[in-house]
Each structure stands twice: as C-alpha cells, then as structure tokens.
Amino acid sequence: MAALSILDLVRVREGYGPRQALDNARDLAAQAEDWGYRRFWVAEHHNMQGIASAATSVVIAHVAAGTTRIRVGAGGIMLPNHAPMVIAEQFGTLAHLFPGRIDLGLGRAPGTDQMTMRALRRSLTNADNFPQDVLELQAYLAEARDGQALHAVPATGTNVPLWILGSSTYGAQLAAALGLPYAFASHFAPADLLPALEIYRERFKPSAQLDRPYAMAGLNVIAAETDAEARRLATTQQMSVADIFRGARGLSKPPIDDIETYWSPMEKAQAARFLSRSVVGDPVRVADGIAAFVAQTGVDEVMVVSDVFDHDRRLASYRMIAEVAGEGEGASAPVKGAAVPEPATP
C-alpha cells in the first residue's frame, strides 16, 4: 500500500475564528503522526476568509512545533508570488528549527484572484519564469559554491527537499526534467491525473535528489461508521465547492441532511467533476476506494484531504482512514540524499 499523508486546508469554520483553525491543524498533525501518516502539508491561499494558511511558512512553524516526527511542509508555496531568496530564507530557517522534517512543494499558480495578485505585486509573466525560479531556489538551499557572493542565510546547505506540484501536465514535465518528486492535485483538478503521471514517469531524469520517479496524488476521503453518516459529513465540502462556482468563497459550513436543497443541477454537475477523485463511506468502502485509487494510479503516496466541519469528527475520519488503509510495506521512497526521507519510526 502507498504511504498516507495529509493536506490540511486550515479551514475557518462558521462560529469559529482563524486561531481555532490554526490550533486544530496543529492538533490534527500531532495525532496524525501517531496514526502513521508520513507528512502534513498546508497550502498558500490568499484573500479567502475560509482558509487560514496564507502565511504558509508561519503556519508550518506552528504545526511543526506541536509535533515531533511527522514531516511538515508546503503543498505548496506559489513560487511566482515570491522572490526565491525569500522562500529559501524562510524554509532554511524552518529546516534549522525542525531538522529533517521540512518539505517544500512548489506551484506556479497564483493561489488567488487577479485583484489579490496585484496586491501581492505579482505579474502575470512571473509564471513564465517558474523553472528558473525553482533552480534559483534550489541553488540557495544547496552547499555554497566557490566564489558565491549571494547567500540566503541560513538556508545554505540545508537542502530542503523540493517537490513540484501540478494540476496539469506542465508540472509533470518540469518535475521529470529536474528529477524531483511530483505531487498532483487530483483532489480538486482530477482531469489530467493519469496523463500527467505517465508523462512524469516516462520522462524522469535521475538527479542528485532522486534516483527514480516518486509520485503523490491528492484524494478526498471522508470516513465514518456508516455510509449515510459519511455522505452527510461530505456535504460541507460539497457546499464549499458549489460556493466556488458561485464566486462566494466563505467560511466552512456545518453539514446538512440534503445537499440537493443547496445546489442547482448545474452546480451539482460541476461539483461532481471537481470532486470525482473522492472516497466517501464506511471503513470497508474507504479501504476499497483507496486501494482502487492506488492500483489505478500506481502512486507512491496518497495525500488525503478529509474536509469535515467538526474537528472531532474530522479526527475520527483521519484515524479511521489510517486504520483501514495505513502505510504498507514497500512504501519507502527511492532516495539519493534528502529527497523524500523516511519518517521516524513511531
């Protein structure tokens, strides 16, 4: 079985504030490392009231300080929003604070709307420089070269593992060319999952970081004691997706008994495509669904998103997922150096 990891959206819920969302993320990570999850990632989003992870490196520090073994990282940093040197400084600092536990996933999308892009001082042309920015960032994290005048202190020599993220075949091509691990965002953009994985594996070139391809893919999973209860819990995520298509991103909403009363037929169809890579149900259904996903994709690691409103029920969902589909033999990464380090043994 592939390794299991968590992508936490750090959801701000109705009736609660950002501090509760941040503390809930830290609590989930602390328990997830005892359940055998390999890594815990948060993502950069801006101008979204319902997501509290805009200052991604700060959130990573908060989560990592509350854990001892699980890898913590960004899934990801939208690199065109930032100078590579600044990201190197941030993640080099994290690497010194939490040695051997920090990951840095990199994406080229803005992670926001065009108005916010302008507020971030981001140009639409920045994405064109993404491959060069990745290489520049990688150089800052590497050992210093003879005569090097510019250093991202204290990042030099930390060799923080880089990942390329993607929701299309572009990221697959870049990850393959650079010999980096690849994570596909199939939890919200499933259409190109299989073609992207094929391209990545066929074109992969070994690097100092990685000997052979290592692929991760996102999967929405909501587990409960019964199918009916799992489907009810899933309405929180379904409402969030419907709100995206309405242009009304807001706080996470509590589940409802009948999702059909919330969305239109068109929104239902849009959400069905958006969430097509989802497994919702009791423990047997969840175990079978995850196994089928791994069998179809051949991924080395599954990044689980369990978007449940109530924190205790979300913990129960992740615990159940780990119990029925936890890490199996053969899930270790093909590592040269520090690419995808093995987790500490619980």
From first to last of its 346 residues, the chain has per-residue pLDDT tens of 799 999 999 999 999 999 999 999 999 999 999 999 999 999 999 999 999 999 999 999 999 999 999 999 999 999 999 999 999 999 999 999 999 999 999 999 765 667 777 787 666 566 689 999 999 999 999 999 999 999 999 999 999 999 999 999 999 999 999 999 999 999 999 999 999 999 999 999 999 999 999 999 999 999 999 999 999 999 999 999 999 999 888 999 999 999 999 999 999 999 999 999 999 999 999 999 999 999 999 999 999 999 999 999 999 999 999 999 864 333 333 333 333 433 332 2
Q: Which CATH superfamily is domain 3-228+277-325 in?
A: Luciferase-like domain (3.20.20.30)
The Cα-based distances of 157 to 97, 100, 139 in angstroms read 14, 13, 9
In this prediction, residue 325 carries a pLDDT of 87
The Cα-based distances of 97 to 27, 33, 116, 311 in angstroms read 19, 18, 31, 28
pTM: 0.92
In this prediction, residue 122 carries a pLDDT of 62
Q: Are strands 215-223 and 278-281 parallel, antiparallel or unpaired?
A: parallel
Could you tell me the maximum CA-CA distance found in the chain, to the nearest angstrom? 66
**Residues 30, 166, 214, 221, Cα dihedral to 10°:** 50
In this prediction, residue 85 carries a pLDDT of 97
Tokens standing for 311? 């924190």
**Unique residue bearing structure tokens 């991604």:** 56
CA separation for the pair 173, 108 (Å, rounded): 13
- DSSP annotation of 11 reads B
In this prediction, residue 117 carries a pLDDT of 73
In this prediction, residue 165 carries a pLDDT of 98
CA separation for the pair 183, 171 (Å, rounded): 9
In this prediction, residue 110 carries a pLDDT of 66
